[in-house]
Chain A
Amino acid sequence: MRLVILDDYDLASEWAAKYIRNRIVEFKPSADRYFTLGLPTGSTPYGCYQKLIEFHRSGDLSFKYVKTFNMDEYVGLPRAHPESYHSYMWNNFFKHIDIDPANAHILDGNAEDLEAECSAYEQKIAAAGGIELFVGGIGPDGHIAFNEPGSSLVSRTRVKTLAKDTIVANARFFGNDLSKVPTMALTVGVGTVMDSKEVMILITGAHKAFALYKAIEEGVNHMWTVSAFQQHPHTIFVCDEDATLELRVKTVKYFKGLMHVHNKLVDPVLSIKDQ
């Protein structure tokens, strides 16, 4: 695991965005060989998306040959609803970049047959050659995507009922009215994300600190599903100071001591202009 610790949210967002940029540019994606990217939603990755848009606007990064697969989507929420993950991705990312709409995949929470939708999604990922880099976040209960506590660590894309914690956490997006929050979602499984070549988890804020502790300093445990990535060969956790508040001082010092190594991954930052 790489644990990359930046001072604050903005710096963490920037580091993550630069990493994604470098990975895409280095990959030299083309019509024959797309870069497949797994994507999250929520407040944590927002800053990262803003930075990626900046890189695109400055001409340094293109998404023309990038295929994206989002992690999850609510069930039964109209796609045009402002809180749907389709709306989130459109407003905060897709409309600002040059991705081909056919390559932007998000689970359809209004599909007739939800299970079929989930299997089809797994097939699309396989058809795209698997995910090169899966970017994710972490819930306060340690979940990755909507793989709530108790989810199988080898699970695949499926329908999940949301935990009370998650519904409460999301209520703020639905006018604090619990009855309006969707209770089910389609989500990639822990196993689905584990299949990707590389995983990058963004964790910022003190409210995520305990989850980060459970994810990296305790054992692999299906009650804290992000802990599964301890068994992935290439995982990066990008966090800010506040997210490290529950970690042992020793852990934090160790990884901060490695920042000069980590920073080589984002410095120099690459650009398509140089290709």
Chain B
Amino acid sequence: MSFFYYWDFMSRGPGSSCIVSLFLGRFWFWEDLWVRDGKILDPEKLFFDEQGFADRRVDCGGSIVAPGFIDVQINGGYGVDFSQPTEDVAAGVSLVAKKVLEHGVTSFCPTLVTSPPAVYHQVLPQVQVHDGGPDGAGVLGFHLEGPFISPEKKGAHPERYLRTFRSGGMEDLTEVYGGLDGVAMVTLAPELPHSQSVVRMLCQKGIAVSLGHSVANLSQAEDAVQHGASFITHLFNAMLPFHHRDPGIVGLLTSDRIPAGRTVFYGMIADGIHTNPAALRIAHRAHPAGLVLVTDAIAAMGLHPGRHPLGQQVIEIQGLHAYVSGTKTLSGSIATMDMCVRHLKQASGCSVEEALEAASLHPAQLLGISQKKGNLDYGADADLVLVDDALRVRTTYISGEEVWRRDA
């Protein structure tokens, strides 16, 4: 099945109608999308088994229907910084969760940058994995970016909180993070001693392991993948540059030492600023199936142009750039997910489906949740985003319920 324009989109009760679906076979077609009890329904079964038909029809007005976007790296937004230990972290996460519906994001991983153990111990227990709804996008679990990263590639992470593995056992993790409940992904540098056992342990617990903020060579990166690592955090940024005799982590895109049946995914901040479009194209052409769009958005995302005090700094927003005030130092990304989808399409010349898949199917596959999310197969959660031909978000649905609509 593929999707393109659609007629009607029915929701609630047996049946909904629209043209849809991108991912069932990767073609386009005019189709109807049927939803019941928050899940995508097989209307043929409904018709023949239950002799049921639609209760309600919703006209999608010619929009493209895609699975809701999934952002696996977002540090905050709208003035909220997830890594700031506050009394009510959940409130901050909820605020961002609500606002990102406007960008077509229906699930996300709140991301914490390198922090002292006290912060993890305070923040992690306050937010549980939960489904989205009218109040905001669903939380898939935290993405812990650090502190087990390389001092040489710390980027904006505070050096004093970087850590190494003492033994490679669970204690290293629990000492820093506290518990690992509610954690969906950990970014670490695989060249750190004892990282291999940590990678294996995390993977066994169902936590995705991502390589980033690292000076690993290709061989070290490949070893980590052998042990279960499956993601690269913001490809090109905070790692050794591609070198033709040692491609480093970037070389994973075309490595021949990836275990059969597994895919290495890679995050791209496709805001046109953090990655040169030519570099984006190289990555996309080398390994299109692995491209995962991430915003890596900071607290300044969503704020109006101008100066904003954030944490210990003052940030100045000019267009899509967020600088440390008074300098030309980028302080992070403020692009929204839908902007990234549009930029990917425009810069790479990829198809609409590919651009949409990079924001939905691929992150779902990365997190191992593609039976429920990131596609429009029968039985998947009806988290949807309706976009126009220019890939601007018109309406967002979670579990078949409309949760955001652009004012006409």
- Using a CB–CB cutoff of 8 Å, the interface residues on chain A facing chain B are 79-80, 86-87, 90-91, 94-95, 100-102, 104, 106
Contacting residues, chain A, for B43 (C-beta < 8 A):
90, 95
CB distance from A120 to the nearest CB of B (A): 16
CA gap between A86 and B43 in the complex, in Å: 12
Cβ-defined contact, A101 with B51, below 8 A: yes
CA gap between A94 and B50 in the complex, in Å: 14
A-B contacts, 27 listed (Cβ < 8 Å):
A79-B48, A80-B42, A80-B44, A80-B45, A86-B44, A86-B48, A87-B44, A90-B43, A90-B44, A90-B47, A90-B48, A91-B44, A95-B32, A95-B44, A95-B47, A100-B51, A100-B53, A101-B46, A101-B47, A101-B48, A101-B50, A101-B51, A101-B52, A101-B53, A102-B51, A104-B47, A106-B48
CB distance from A110 to the nearest CB of B (A): 11
Contacting residues, chain B, for A100 (C-beta < 8 A):
51, 53
Contacting residues, chain A, for B42 (C-beta < 8 A):
80
* Chain B interface extent, by class: 10 to 19
| Apart from A86-B48, A101-B46, 14 more pairs, CB < 8 Å | A80-B44, A86-B44, A87-B44, A90-B43, A91-B44, A94-B47, A95-B43, A95-B47, A100-B53, A101-B50, A101-B51, A101-B52, A101-B53, A104-B47
Q: Give the A-B contact count at a CB cut-off of 8 A.
A: 29
CB distance from A219 to the nearest CB of B (A): 41
CA gap between A94 and B32 in the complex, in Å: 13
- Using a CB–CB cutoff of 8 Å, the interface residues on chain B facing chain A are 32, 42-48, 50-53
Contacting residues, chain A, for B50 (C-beta < 8 A):
101
CA gap between A166 and B44 in the complex, in Å: 27
Residue of A with least CB distance to B34 = A95
CB distance from B377 to the nearest CB of A (A): 13
Contacting residues, chain B, for A94 (C-beta < 8 A):
47
CB distance from B20 to the nearest CB of A (A): 13
Residue of A with least CB distance to B42 = A80
CA gap between A95 and B44 in the complex, in Å: 8
CA gap between A106 and B52 in the complex, in Å: 16
Contacting residues, chain A, for B53 (C-beta < 8 A):
100-101
Residue with the greatest number of chain A CB neighbours at <10 A, chosen from B47, B50, B51? B47
CB distance from A69 to the nearest CB of B (A): 15
Contacting residues, chain A, for B46 (C-beta < 8 A):
101
Nearest 5 Cβ contacts at the A-B interface: A101-B51, A90-B44, A102-B51, A101-B47, A101-B53
Contacting residues, chain A, for B32 (C-beta < 8 A):
95
CA gap between A104 and B46 in the complex, in Å: 13
Residue of B with least CB distance to A91 = B44
CA gap between A106 and B51 in the complex, in Å: 13
Residue with the greatest number of chain B CB neighbours at <10 A, chosen from A79, A91, A95, A106? A95
Residue with the greatest number of chain A CB neighbours at <10 A, chosen from B44, B45, B50, B53? B44
Residue with the greatest number of chain B CB neighbours at <10 A, chosen from A86, A87, A101? A101
CA gap between A102 and B46 in the complex, in Å: 11
Residue of A with least CB distance to B50 = A101
Contacting residues, chain A, for B48 (C-beta < 8 A):
79, 86, 90, 101, 106
Residue of A with least CB distance to B47 = A101
CA gap between A89 and B221 in the complex, in Å: 53
Contacting residues, chain B, for A95 (C-beta < 8 A):
32, 43-44, 47
CB distance from A13 to the nearest CB of B (A): 20
